[in-house]
A and B are shown apart, each in its own frame.
Chain A
Amino acid sequence: MRVPAAGSLGALPSAAPQAARRRPRCSVDPMESAFAPPEAASEYAIEVSGVAKHFGDVSALDGVDLLAPQGQVLGLLGPNGAGKTTLVRVLATLLKPDAGSARVLGLDVQRDAARLRERIGLAGQYAAVDENLTGLENLTMVGRLYGARRATAKARGRELLERFELSDAADRPTKTYSGGMRRRLDLAAALVAKPPVLFLDEPTTGLDPRSRLSLWAVIEDLVAEGTTALLTTQYLDEADRLADTIAVIDHGRLIAEGTSDQLKDRLGGERLEVRLDDGANPDVAVRALSPMSDESPAAMDGLVKVSVRSRRGAIVEAVRRLSEAGVGVDDLALRRPTLDDVFLALTGHAAEEPSDENPSPDEPVDDERSSERADRSGQMGEPERAR
């Protein structure tokens, strides 16, 4: 496994150019405060130090260090099986780590678990709602389990249903809900006690694009109100839009950390993809395009990929070079790096999706999910097309 040492890409200080894009942030070197005295603990909502977890022979987490400042979104990006869910389960007091320590809001996830549970909200990849209860009954139950009285819990439930546009379905059993509605209800359940820290474990996996956008908007609102969130995702565009800082995780190790722009810059910029006409000679196309890149272009099945030095004018230049060389072009696209590109660059292997971490025989939105996986690269790449 060719995993660069954690931090080799710079366990980047949070004072990054991107900071200005959203809200003010403090400038602290994360490495330093992993060993910071307790009084400095308030600086970070989430502090993870050397956390390891093994399941039999499988090492789900292999010494993870992570810091999430208050009031920000930390995106944990990685493929299935990378250890994202395991880390969330450790932080949400559901799983004991084998080694290392983790604190949330200064509370130790093991020693202070009971107190911590009052201050966190967990929304998972699998909408954890009772299918036989209505939306309102689900939220009321959760509110009462947080210790609220029935009337208070019910009022809070109505408020959340309103906010998540579920009021019309408030009195329907949730088994009649669509995948997106369930996911919104699940998120609402995580917010019942207005927790200062939220764990969002792949909140949009399996959702159709429209539900995904509306969920994103909700998460952005929450964070604007000052909630700290740890968001796990397999989608670069999701991390890109929601996260202030992104930590890339693979095989239980943190392999890079930084803002979205910093990560993309590591990937060598834009990819130009040229689909050749039937019968066009790929070798000629590769020769024609190679001056545009520092690496030699790759050709496969009539598709030529070039990592271009500059986005500006790349399409025009490529069209000119190809037409001078007499190569027919069917389609041409310039796209930003995808998660696969990030992984390829960071680990030397593609972001394959072993399905060992989260088998889901009865996940109700399976079909949506698989179709989404199929066109994932399309969603992430947001290709800019030219004909």
Chain B
Amino acid sequence: MRRLVTDTLIIAERNLVRLPRAPELLIGYTIQPIMFVLLFRYVFGGAISTPGYSYVDFLIPGIIVQNTAFGGFATALGLNEDVSKGLIDRFRSLPMSRAAVLGGRTLADVATNSLSITILLLTGVIIGFSFSTSFLHAAAGVGLLLLFGYSFSWFLAFIGLLVSSPESVNSVGFIVVFPLTFISSAFVPVASMPDGLRQFAEVNPFTIIVDALRHLWLGAPAGNSVWGAVVWSLVIVGVFAPLAVNRYRRAAGR
């Protein structure tokens, strides 16, 4: 167990040390999310009606959730590269904890997600977003967001080990994660969607986490969304962490 913790921290450090050396990664975590916030706020914002909220207040929780989900792609792409470059073979031949390579990756995502969330919240505040709840609620929202991002990283860790190339990882992003995040309450009110889509959006975990954030940041009605988001996060980790670790054990480098 001590081994798991130290090894996880070593691997997390490895994944964070590289950040400042890879400007394209840093841009992915900073400039790109800001760009999307500005596009949605100023291009689509005027055309989307969000009763009870200004669009910028409505948008920020939604877009931060989407951005956090995509943060896990660093894990999927990184693991995929580790497999194809043979680094996984090196790790698997070492007397280290078997779960640490994945645990370190997903933990590093928490750090980069924190960076992205900070930048997005700052951007939001600059363009007019404001918290309507207590500091404690707002902080709980950030915590929930990080928990959800962490669990989603485990899903993406599994995907990264499952598919054969970085291109496939990216197509999973486009085919699975884009629809999941868009067919939710992240960018438009669910009530505005046509039948079929609306029912899907209502049960979509992304809707639940976005609604939970709107409750914690804006004081929107909570329903079961906060507990729902916690449960979803735990379920995703509970399912995909064992699947990913099992996949890692059998992962063949070249």
Most chain A CB atoms below 10 A, which of B14, B18, B22, B90: B90
Whether the pair A129, B93 counts as a contact (CB closer than 8 A) is no
A13-31 interface (Cβ within 8 A of B): none
Whether the pair B86, A145 counts as a contact (CB closer than 8 A) is no
Whether the pair B17, A189 counts as a contact (CB closer than 8 A) is no
Whether the pair B22, A132 counts as a contact (CB closer than 8 A) is yes
Q: Does A362 contact B (CB under 8 A)?
A: yes
User: Within 8 Å CB of A358, what residues of B?
Assistant: 254
B188-205 interface (Cβ within 8 A of A): none
- Give the 6 A-B residue pairs with the shortest CB-CB distance, closest first: A132-B18, A126-B86, A128-B90, A117-B95, A128-B86, A122-B93
User: Within 8 Å CB of B253, what residues of A?
Assistant: 94, 124, 126, 128
Number of A-B contacts (CB under 8 A): 78
Q: Does A380 contact B (CB under 8 A)?
A: no
User: Within 8 Å CB of A130, what residues of B?
Assistant: 14, 18, 87
The segment from A136-144, A161-169, A307-315 that touches chain B is A136-144
Q: Is the interface of A mostly helix, strand, loop or mixed?
A: loop
Q: Does B91 contact A (CB under 8 A)?
A: yes
User: Within 8 Å CB of A85, what residues of B?
Assistant: 254
A146-164 interface (Cβ within 8 A of B): 146-147
Q: Does A317 contact B (CB under 8 A)?
A: no
Q: Does A118 contact B (CB under 8 A)?
A: yes
A92–B89 CA distance with the chains assembled, in angstroms:
9
Q: Out of B10, B86, B90, B93, name the residue touching A144 (CB < 8 Å).
A: B10
Q: Does B50 contact A (CB under 8 A)?
A: no
26 example contacts (A-B, Cβ-Cβ < 8 A) are as follows A89-B252, A93-B92, A94-B89, A94-B252, A115-B95, A117-B93, A117-B94, A120-B93, A122-B90, A125-B254, A126-B85, A128-B89, A130-B87, A132-B21, A133-B17, A133-B18, A137-B14, A141-B10, A141-B14, A142-B90, A144-B10, A145-B7, A146-B95, A147-B95, A189-B90, A360-B254
Whether the pair A142, B94 counts as a contact (CB closer than 8 A) is yes
State how many angstroms separate the Cβ of B247 from the closest Cβ of chain A: 14
State how many angstroms separate the Cβ of A350 from the closest Cβ of chain B: 24
B1-18 interface (Cβ within 8 A of A): 3, 6-7, 10, 14, 17-18
Residue of A nearest to B87 (CB): A128
A 363-376 to B, binary, CB cutoff 8 A, 1 in contact else 0? 00000000000000
A265-281 interface (Cβ within 8 A of B): none
Q: Out of B18, B22, B85, B96, name the residue touching A145 (CB < 8 Å).
A: B96
A53–B96 CA distance with the chains assembled, in angstroms:
25
A173 in contact with B21 given A94-B93, A129-B87, A142-B90 (CB within 8 Å)? yes
State how many angstroms separate the Cβ of A56 from the closest Cβ of chain B: 13
User: Within 8 Å CB of B94, what residues of A?
Assistant: 117, 142, 145-146
State how many angstroms separate the Cβ of A333 from the closest Cβ of chain B: 37
A362–B82 CA distance with the chains assembled, in angstroms:
12
Q: Does B84 contact A (CB under 8 A)?
A: yes
Whether the pair A114, B14 counts as a contact (CB closer than 8 A) is no
State how many angstroms separate the Cβ of B8 from the closest Cβ of chain A: 11
State how many angstroms separate the Cβ of B21 from the closest Cβ of chain A: 6
A 177-221 to B, binary, CB cutoff 8 A, 1 in contact else 0? 000000000000100000000000000000000000000000000
Q: Does A38 contact B (CB under 8 A)?
A: no
Residue of A nearest to B20 (CB): A132
A124 in contact with B18 given A141-B10, A145-B96, A360-B254 (CB within 8 Å)? no
A298–B94 CA distance with the chains assembled, in angstroms:
52
A 218-245 to B, binary, CB cutoff 8 A, 1 in contact else 0? 0000000000000000000000000000
Q: Does A95 contact B (CB under 8 A)?
A: yes
